[in-house]
Amino acid sequence: MGSDGVNFYKDLFASLCFIFFGAALAFQHPYLYFAALMCACLSTTAHRKKWPTPIWAQLYIDRLTDYINKRVPKKEFKDDDDIGPLPPIDK
């Protein structure tokens, strides 16, 4: 998921390319190889032409990011916090 909005179609077609290629290897069907080739071409074109992310995909990505941020616990310490010595353990 690219935050700059350029990678949506590239990632989509690259994923479809791998799916079709895996299916082509499994089923040995020539049309699946052709579909993998076309998805690879579309992925390369999307990367070179910098196709913008559609609004529905950006909204979905934002909603998914908000959902994940609510589910993932916050860190106790920040990256720039110094962790001091631990207190002694009483037995």
**Residue 1 domain-assigned?**
no
Q: What is the pLDDT of residue 1?
A: 44
Phi, psi of 29 (to 5 degrees): -110, 130
- The domain total for the chain is 1
**Residue 40 domain-assigned?**
yes
* Better-scored residue on pLDDT, 84 or 20: 20
CA angle 32, 36, 37 (to 5 degrees): 115
In tens, the pLDDT along 11-63 reads 999 999 999 999 999 999 999 999 999 999 999 999 999 999 999 999 999 99
* Residues of the domain holding 32: 8-71
- Interhelix angle 30-49/8-27, nearest 10 degrees: 170
Regarding pTM above 0.85, the answer is no
Q: What is the pLDDT of residue 2?
A: 43
Residue 7, burial from CB neighbour count under 10 angstroms (0-12, 13-18, 19+): middle
**Residue 86 domain-assigned?**
no
